[in-house]
Amino acid sequence: MPKVTEEHRLARREQIVAAARTCMNEQGFHKTTMADVIRESRLSAGAVYGYFKSKEEIVAAIAEDALGTVDELFERLLATDAPLTPLAALEATIDHVVLVAQRPGGDVTRIAVQAWAESLRNEEIRGIAKGKYRKLRDHFLVIARRAQADGTLDRDVDPECVAQVMFSMIPGFVLQRLLIGDITPATYKAGLRALLR
Amino acid sequence: MPKVTEEHRLARREQIVAAARTCMNEQGFHKTTMADVIRESRLSAGAVYGYFKSKEEIVAAIAEDALGTVDELFERLLATDAPLTPLAALEATIDHVVLVAQRPGGDVTRIAVQAWAESLRNEEIRGIAKGKYRKLRDHFLVIARRAQADGTLDRDVDPECVAQVMFSMIPGFVLQRLLIGDITPATYKAGLRALLR
């Protein structure tokens, strides 16, 4: 019964990723080892290594889970025929970030911030972060191009430059939410509406 | 001769802070201990503890050194009688960030990213980061109020909300510069000019 087997595989994989998130939220990203994840998952070492060869592979899976839903978000945003503005895309993205952060299993944005630091010391984590963030920024690039086609953004500017600034809103929001704590989607979106064209 | 003594004190203090930056850039923020800083500084433990009681106090000094020059930058920005825009303030801040990052003694933005992660696990570091970043954001708040007075920003919006978005541009730029690497003040400022009112 291949369908059951596939479901079983996915559930096991999710069990391991959830265990890793718990460990990373409790004891920190850097300190978490494969042994910790195995213990927390209540699976055997052989079972865990059957899914993930290293902590880095688990980190990639956590990032994939967190950012995977972003693809659908941007698909939805681009599906409209009405003129699309960078502002509308950013407002939707900020709401989405908070939804993802509040999902059960611990705030994944806390793991992201730790992954940024780890990226400076671990080439493999840096490669994962770079790949995922380039992909996220490419979504903003598509939005910028669409806005240029729709006439809601100056056509003379390199859309890559616009994507760099749009991307910044995400780590900027996440960091203030975690470190300062007095920021909400409502306050941030009010600021965006006042500042952006 | 109190003047010589004060100069001597400042030089010693700078020697310790520089040693801490070297350690944190080489082996990471979390792993760096007071013993490492003492060894790197080539001073005695007693001498180092005479200036800083803990690693957290050194971190506060590193942040103070990095952000201290920002106060002067904003004073200069506000000194003009011409209408001031949030865009102009952000362009100047981005240039300033890169200047500070390129100062001798290692890129202090790499230490900042590590401090963000450490803030999630260490209340004392979090307190330092929160205080410093609130202060930096308050500079943007002053700019937003000035822009409202000058008529370059909508007067109906809460300037705190605008400051939250302006603040985001700094970690957003720093993170892309360190993790993705294809960002310069020129590309970023082009994006800002296209997006901001």
CATH assignment at residue A125: 1.10.357.10
Q: Note whether residue B32 is domain-resident.
A: no
Distance CA B165, CA A184 (A): 11
Q: Note whether residue B1 is domain-resident.
A: no
- Does B164 sit within 8 Å of A169, measured CB to CB? no
**pLDDT category of residue B119 using cuts at 50, 70 and 90:** very high
Q: Note whether residue A4 is domain-resident.
A: no
- Does B28 sit within 8 Å of A161, measured CB to CB? no
**pLDDT category of residue B3 using cuts at 50, 70 and 90:** low
Distance CA B19, CA A11 (A): 49
Distance CA B172, CA B175 (A): 5
- Does B192 sit within 8 Å of A197, measured CB to CB? no
Average pLDDT of the segment spanning B59-84: 92
Cβ pairs A/B, distance under 8 A? 166
Spacing of C-alpha A173 from chain mean position: 13
Q: Note whether residue B190 is domain-resident.
A: yes
The residue among A58, A182, A10, A45 whose CA lies nearest residue A191 is A182
Residues in chain B with CB shorter than 8 Å from the CB of A178 are 116, 119-120
> What residue numbers bound the domain in which A149 lies?
55-196
Q: Note whether residue A44 is domain-resident.
A: no
Nearest chain B residue to A118 by CA distance is B114
Task: Count the Cβ atoms, other than its own, within 10 Å of residue A10.
Answer: 10
Tell me which residue in A28, A121, A194 faces B153 most closely, judged by beta carbons: A194
Q: How far is CA A64 from CA A3, A5, A90, B24, in A?
A: 23, 22, 20, 30
> What does the pLDDT read at residue A197?
75
> What does the pLDDT read at residue B68?
87
Q: Is residue A1 predicted with pLDDT exceeding 60? A: no
Residues in chain B with CB shorter than 8 Å from the CB of A167 are 172, 176
Average pLDDT of the segment spanning B128-150: 96
Residues in chain B with CB shorter than 8 Å from the CB of A116 are 113, 116-117, 175, 178-179
Q: How far is CA A51 from CA A2, A67, B106, in A?
A: 17, 20, 39
- Does A178 sit within 8 Å of B164, measured CB to CB? no
Q: Nearest C-alpha of chain B: how many angstroms from A98? A: 16
Q: Note whether residue B179 is domain-resident.
A: yes
- Quick: pLDDT tens for A40-63: 999 999 999 999 999 999 999 999
The residue among A112, A170, A114 whose CA lies nearest residue B115 is A114
Q: Note whether residue A149 is domain-resident.
A: yes
Nearest chain A residue to B135 by CA distance is A180
Nearest chain B residue to A112 by CA distance is B117
- Quick: pLDDT tens for A80-116: 899 999 999 999 999 999 999 999 888 999 999 999 9
Q: Note whether residue B41 is domain-resident.
A: no
Nearest chain A residue to B120 by CA distance is A110
Residue A196, classed as helix, strand or coil, is strand
- Does A118 sit within 8 Å of B117, measured CB to CB? yes
B168: left (phi over 0), alpha (psi -120 to 50) or beta: alpha
Planar angle of CA B44, B48, B50, nearest 5 degrees = 115
Nearest chain B residue to A174 by CA distance is B168
Q: Which residues pair with A196 in a beta bridge?
A: B196
**pLDDT category of residue B29 using cuts at 50, 70 and 90:** confident
Between A175 and B66, the more confident residue is A175
Distance CA A3, CA A20 (A): 26
What is the count of structural domains for chain B?
1
Residues in chain B with CB shorter than 8 Å from the CB of A153 are 194-195
- Quick: pLDDT tens for A11-42: 999 999 999 999 999 998 889 999 999 999 99
Q: Is residue B36 predicted with pLDDT exceeding 60? A: yes
